[in-house]
């Protein structure tokens, strides 16, 4: 009926919408108007309970919200419809998403990549049950959660794992942006300063050295003068709130300082009024110098809510929480600084996710001698490969290819060939080839009995190089996804892989290579020659093109792709593919 009459509805199975700008409050649950305040944060959630939790948490942290939208089963309108509205909404400056499922991953990415508003997502329902039956390395590794996490990063969406971090991100995005790694720590406790310094190192911040003139000025206010001040700056010997404020302002004036953490430790409620007044001044200083000052408060459990509820400024609970949140702010600034807006239909032009195009189709494996020409045509060099059915054909193929060669079972879709006795390497002459044929043909007959075997592959050996895995998968939510990582027989054990949603540019391909720890191996270690990074990046973008231009491919996997020395290129040694077909 809604479709017939063009009616849009929220839900079902939700508590609907709260809008603090105009007083709209649709939930059927009772709400305490005393704890609801107007602000600039809007949240979309599939759970009504999460919306109620947000109301309570916002109140505890003295955060105001603009719109809260409980979307339930999202049968008529989904998260992207509401997100598109909030991106255009003048009253919303920060957006939060709590999602248990994603309706259209590409539209979500497209919307997020086009706004300067920070978007924070808490993605639940990330079980791995589907991975237990995976036949491809890629399927076993590329679970829904990992693909979604990669897509979020690619679109500039910040993912959190709990409600505490959800709220912490809202706090930090309420402050001016962190525009660089230069960091300063001021603390009334030396121990807390050390904790904060550890967190700063963990999240990639640089503790900026203070000038001698500034440190002399600070030390002149100390009573004992037994410790030379530095960064972190321990203010434990200083009990003067006006001096604290002067120090904060002086630090913010430093060009190389991009953000500051102020840790305030006290026990007695005698300093509550002074603390509240200091927070007001710090708020003005942060706005004046357009730099974030994360205020971390340590007090007894009765004192904390008093300060939070009376201060119009976000307060953090511990150093790691504050520094982690500031790193998110810095990431957002960097994303906006380097972002190149995609064309009007760049993401949407790709083939649809697997779930929408192939609901009634099955997957069938493709033989390697059919996969290799596809790779070669796309610009990924392949090792010369011939499928044979008799020993004489194998000898002739080896003579044409040139020794040394390898023998492999040609069984479409077969995983872990080496584990099943289906690979024999480095055969140097006809005699070794015939002996190997005799051994491997026994396994060939086993697979022929099941109707799956095509023959035995003769393939030229590739000298040296580093083995990686390069694959494409048609994800049910995000469509074509590219996986790159450490390859060979240990790929599922190490799981040293990264993902990107196609299309993947050369710049993004280089980022993928540098993102994994194994990337250091490719750059050359302990006197080794560096690998051909340019050719590898070209192979990654070629795999992206393959997935975009061939919507019937469900999954394609090169393992290993051998990366040779700089200037020598890459070589696909083994490849498998599954395609959609009508039953």
| pLDDT per position as a tens digit, 10-40 | 999 999 999 999 999 999 988 888 888 999 9
What local confidence, expressed as pLDDT, does residue 359 receive? 57
What local confidence, expressed as pLDDT, does residue 130 receive? 40
CA torsion through residues 189, 190, 191, 192, sign: positive
What local confidence, expressed as pLDDT, does residue 349 receive? 43
- Where in the chain is CATH 3.30.470.20? 466-581
- Where in the chain is CATH 3.40.50.261? 2-172, 182-338
Residue 59 structure tokens: 């109140």
- Per the CB < 8 A criterion, the answer to whether 412 and 368 are in contact is yes
pLDDT in tens, 363-384: 888 888 889 999 999 999 999 8
- Domain 182-338 top-level CATH class: alpha beta
What does the DSSP 8-state code read for residue 393?
H
What local confidence, expressed as pLDDT, does residue 84 receive? 97
**Which residues does the chain have with pLDDT short of 70?**
126-143, 223-228, 340-360, 413-421, 446-453, 488-494, 518, 525-527, 582-583
Q: Which long-range contacts (CB under 8 A, 24 or more apart) does 526-535 make?
A: 529/565, 529/566, 530/565, 530/566, 531/465, 531/466, 531/563, 531/564, 531/565, 531/566, 532/563, 532/564, 532/565, 532/566, 532/567, 532/568, 532/569, 532/570, 533/566, 535/563, 535/564, 535/568, 535/569, 535/570
What local confidence, expressed as pLDDT, does residue 424 receive? 87
CA distances from 170 to 109, 273, 292, 325 (A): 20, 25, 13, 9
Residue 173's φ and ψ, nearest 5 degrees, are: -75, -5
The topology under which CATH files domain 2-172 is: Rossmann fold (3.40.50)
How many residues belong to the chain?
583
- Beta pairing class for 259-265 and 293-298: parallel
- Per the CB < 8 A criterion, the answer to whether 306 and 270 are in contact is no
What local confidence, expressed as pLDDT, does residue 490 receive? 57
CA distance 239 to 372: 73
pLDDT in tens, 116-147: 999 999 998 765 544 443 455 555 555 678 89
CA distance 262 to 264: 6
Question: What superfamily would CATH give domain 466-581?
Answer: ATP-grasp fold, B domain (3.30.470.20)
- Where in the chain is CATH 3.30.1490.20? 384-460
Please name the CATH architecture into which domain 384-460 falls. Answer: 2-Layer Sandwich (3.30)
CA dihedral 331, 336, 342, 346 (to 10 degrees): 30
CA distances from 582 to 473, 502, 562 (A): 19, 25, 35
Residue 461's φ and ψ, nearest 5 degrees, are: -70, 145
């Amino acid at each position: 009926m809604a479709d017939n009459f063009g009616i849009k509805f929220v839900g079902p199975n939700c508590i609907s919408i709260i809008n603090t700008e105009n007083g709209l409050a649709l939930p059927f649950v009772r709400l305490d108007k005393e704890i609801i305040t107007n602000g600039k944060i809007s949240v979309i959630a599939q759970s009504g309970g999460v919306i109620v939790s947000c109301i309570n948490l916002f109140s505890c942290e003295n955060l105001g919200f603009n719109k809260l939208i409980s979307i339930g089963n999202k049968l008529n309108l989904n998260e992207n419809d509401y997100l598109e509205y909030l991106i255009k909404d003048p009253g919303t400056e920060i957006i939060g998403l709590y999602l248990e499922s994603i309706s259209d991953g590409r539209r979500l990415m497209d919307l997020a990549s086009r706004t300067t508003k920070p978007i924070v997502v808490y993605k639940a329902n990330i079980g791995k049950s589907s991975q237990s039956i995976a036949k491809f390395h890629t399927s076993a590794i590329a679970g829904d959660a990992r693909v979604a996490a990669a897509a979020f990063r690619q679109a500039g969406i910040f993912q959190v794992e709990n409600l505490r971090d959800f709220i912490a991100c809202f706090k930090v995005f309420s402050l001016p942006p962190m525009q660089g790694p230069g960091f300063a720590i001021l603390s009334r406790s030396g121990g807390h300063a050390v904790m904060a310094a550890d967190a700063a190192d963990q999240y990639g911040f640089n503790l900026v050295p203070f000038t001698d003139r500034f440190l002399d000025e600070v030390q002149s206010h100390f009573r004992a003068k037994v410790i030379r001040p530095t960064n972190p700056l321990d203010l434990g010997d200083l009990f003067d709130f006006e001096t604290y404020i002067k120090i904060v302002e002086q630090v913010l004036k430093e060009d190389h300082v991009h953000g500051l953490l102020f840790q305030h430790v006290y026990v007695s409620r005698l300093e509550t009024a002074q603390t509240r007044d200091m927070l007001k001044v710090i708020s003005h200083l942060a706005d004046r110098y357009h730099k974030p000052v994360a205020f971390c408060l340590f007090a007894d459990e009765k004192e904390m809510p008093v300060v939070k509820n009376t201060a119009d400024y976000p307060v953090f609970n511990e150093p790691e929480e504050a520094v982690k949140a500031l790193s998110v702010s810095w990431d957002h600034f960097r994303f906006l600084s380097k972002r190149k807006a995609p064309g009007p239909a760049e993401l949407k032009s790709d083939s649809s996710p697997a779930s929408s195009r192939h609901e009634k189709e099955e997957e069938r494996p493709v033989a390697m001698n059919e996969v290799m020409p596809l790779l070669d045509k796309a610009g990924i060099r392949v090792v010369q490969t011939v499928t044979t059915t008799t020993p004489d054909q194998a000898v002739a193929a080896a003579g044409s290819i040139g020794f040394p060669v390898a023998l492999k079972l040609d069984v479409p879709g077969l995983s872990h060939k080496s584990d099943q006795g289906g690979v024999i390497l480095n055969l140097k002459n006809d005699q070794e080839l015939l002996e190997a044929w005799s051994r491997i043909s026994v396994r060939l007959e086993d697979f022929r009995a099941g109707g799956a075997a095509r023959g035995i592959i003769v393939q030229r050996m590739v000298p040296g190089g580093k083995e990686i895995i390069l694959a494409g998968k048609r994800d049910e939510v995000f469509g074509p996804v590219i996986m790159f990582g450490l390859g060979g027989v240990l790929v599922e054990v190490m799981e040293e892989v990264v993902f990107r949603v196609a299309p993947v540019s050369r710049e993004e391909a280089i980022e993928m290579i540098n993102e994994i720890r194994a990337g250091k191996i490719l750059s050359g270690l302990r006197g080794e020659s560096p690998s051909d990074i340019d050719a590898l990046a070209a192979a990654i973008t070629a795999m992206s093109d393959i997935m975009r231009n061939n919507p019937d491919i469900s999954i394609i996997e090169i393992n290993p792709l051998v990366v040779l020395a700089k200037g020598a290129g890459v070589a696909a040694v083994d490849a498998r593919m599954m395609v959609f077909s009508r039953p």
